[in-house]
Structure 1
Amino acid sequence: MAFAGLLVCVVGFFNILDGLTALLKDQYYQVGSSRLLIFDYTAWGCIWLILGVAQLVIGGAILARKAWARTPGIALTALVILGQFAFLNAFPLWSTIVIALCVVGIYGLMTPTSGSVAL
């Protein structure tokens, strides 16, 4: 669980960086705002900041071994995967790395821990 919690925190930090970049320096991305699948960079910046902060909180709860944090961790991470697919046109390499980390994080959160019953 520690590895999965750490991955959720890392992805949350990456999302915060992505959000700040989209809000403060949208020229950094490879395409203009009109070429994004949905929304503009300001909206994406707010979305990534909110998701990133939420992931840091949930990741901290996972690291603290709170049982309730697994389900929101999986849900937020899946939501980030969907968002990164929509944001893929802006910065493909970054989005691909974040998607891969999210998949590994979901796997870690869904794997039963020792002493727990598999669902």
Structure 2
Amino acid sequence: MSQQTPAGGQWNSGHASRNVPRHEGAGMAHGGTVFAAVLLSLSGALGILQGIGAIAEDDVYTRVGNYVFEFDLTAWGWIHLILGIVVLLTAVGLFKGANWARAAGICLAGLSVIANFLWLPYQPWWAITLLAIDVFIIWALCSSWSHTTE
């Protein structure tokens, strides 16, 4: 037996004691979350490789111009390496369906946006690509967040 919800969805009465709203776009939202987890793990792995490349050899990256925000390339390497490891671990938690991983994924993707924006002088096209991936991750994780209470 299903009834209409105020938002236009239908109530799913899996248990007699509680009704949980079921929306028609729930499958797409779950798919967006899985795709965001895949992109989050890709972003973490690429951040790790980016960090290793910056730490190992200072001649791998060249700066395009002078900017206000300047760090030593080795410092940027450690920032990307640590952020990449934490992002990759968060992606594993997101694959397991943990709500803490969803919130952490949004925060870490936001930090990655800031780090890649500041990374623009070293690798502009790479940074813009990762900016776009991180913005999609934030959108997918925020738009598919379940607002039901258990």
TM-score (norm 1): 0.89
- 3-state SS of paired residue (1:26): coil
Does 2:62 match 1:30? yes
Return 5+ residue gaps in structure 2 as ranges.
Answer: 1-32
C-alpha separation in 1, matches of 2:112 and 2:40: 11
2:48 pairs with one of 2, 9, 16: 16
Q: Judging by fraction of residues, say which structure has more helix.
A: 1
C-alpha separation in 2, matches of 1:95 and 1:106: 16
C-alpha separation in 2, matches of 1:13 and 1:65: 20
State the match for 1:109 in structure 2: 141
State the match for 2:104 in structure 1: 72
Does 2:43 match 1:6? no
**4+ residue runs of structure 1 moved beyond 6 angstroms?**
none
- 3-state SS of paired residue (2:80): helix
- Show CA shifts across 1:69-115 (max 9, x none): 111111111011111111100010110111010011111111125xx
Letter of the structure 1 residue corresponding to residue 87 of structure 2: Q
C-alpha separation in 1, matches of 2:124 and 2:138: 21
Tell me by how many angstroms 1:68 deviates.
1.2
Give matches, 1:92-107, under 5 Å: 92-107=124-139
Letter of the structure 2 residue corresponding to residue 13 of structure 1: A
| Number of residues of Structure 1 aligned to a counterpart in Structure 2 | 115
Find the structure with the greater CA-based Rg: 2
Return 5+ residue gaps in structure 1 as ranges.
Answer: none
Tell me by how many angstroms 1:39 deviates.
1.2
Letter of the structure 1 residue corresponding to residue 147 of structure 2: V
TM-score (norm 2): 0.71
- Show CA shifts across 1:11-59 (max 9, x none): 0011101100100122121228x94622111111111110000000000
Letter of the structure 1 residue corresponding to residue 36 of structure 2: A
1:41 pairs with one of 64, 68, 73: 73
Q: CA RMSD in A?
A: 1.8
